């Protein structure tokens, strides 16, 4: 079961990265001309990246509190990775930096919750 989850996680991670790079690969949606909006389109695929990282690295599925905290942590991490992809591909914007800062603070909070969830 663990190997199966790692394979599924790798598929999710790779497909999330590919779809973050080229968001209109699956559906032929019109991509916005505004680079700020383009980063927001890329961020949506961060959930797939986060699920992939979760399935690859997480293996304590029996405790539900740890699992919920891990899901929140890894989904937020995936969103941060997708936003950083957007910074590299579309440019740097101060409002996007504000969103990135908020997401990093939330990631730290979820990490602390994960650390103390087993108590």
Report the alpha-carbon distance of residue 80 to residue 47 in Å, rounded. 10
Q: What are phi and psi of 65, to 5 degrees?
A: -65, -45
Report the alpha-carbon distance of residue 70 to residue 4 in Å, rounded. 19
Mean pLDDT for 6-16 is 95
Q: Would you place residue 35 in the very low, low, confident or very high pLDDT band (cuts 50, 70, 90)?
A: confident
- The answer to whether the pTM exceeds 0.95 is no
60-95 pLDDT, tens digit per residue, is 888 888 999 999 999 999 999 999 999 999 888 888
- In this prediction, residue 119 carries a pLDDT of 65
98-114 pLDDT, tens digit per residue, is 999 999 999 999 999 98
Mean pLDDT for 18-36 is 85
Q: Would you place residue 117 in the very low, low, confident or very high pLDDT band (cuts 50, 70, 90)?
A: confident
Report the alpha-carbon distance of residue 74 to residue 29 in Å, rounded. 27
- 102-113 CB burial, b ≥16 within 10 A, e <16: ebeeebeebbeb
Residue 23: strand, helix, or coil: coil
Nearest partner of 79 among 105, 60, 59, judged by Cα: 105
Query: Cα 1 to chain center, whole Å?
Result: 23
pLDDT at 27 > cutoff 80: no
> Rounded mean pLDDT of the chain?
91
CB 77 within 8 A of CB 107: yes
Mean pLDDT for 47-69 is 91
């Amino acid at each position: 079961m663990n190997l199966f989850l790692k394979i599924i996680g790798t598929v999710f991670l790779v497909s999330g990265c590919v779809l973050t790079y080229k968001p209109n690969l699956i559906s032929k949606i019109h991509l916005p001309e505004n680079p700020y909006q383009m980063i927001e389109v890329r961020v949506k695929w961060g959930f797939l990246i986060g699920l992939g990282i979760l399935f690859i690295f997480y293996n304590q599925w029996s405790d539900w509190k740890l699992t919920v905290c891990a899901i929140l942590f890894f989904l937020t991490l995936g969103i941060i990775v997708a936003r950083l992809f957007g910074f590299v591909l579309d440019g740097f914007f101060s409002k996007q930096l504000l969103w990135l800062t908020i997401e990093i603070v939330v990631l730290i909070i979820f990490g602390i919750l994960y650390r103390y969830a087993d108590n």
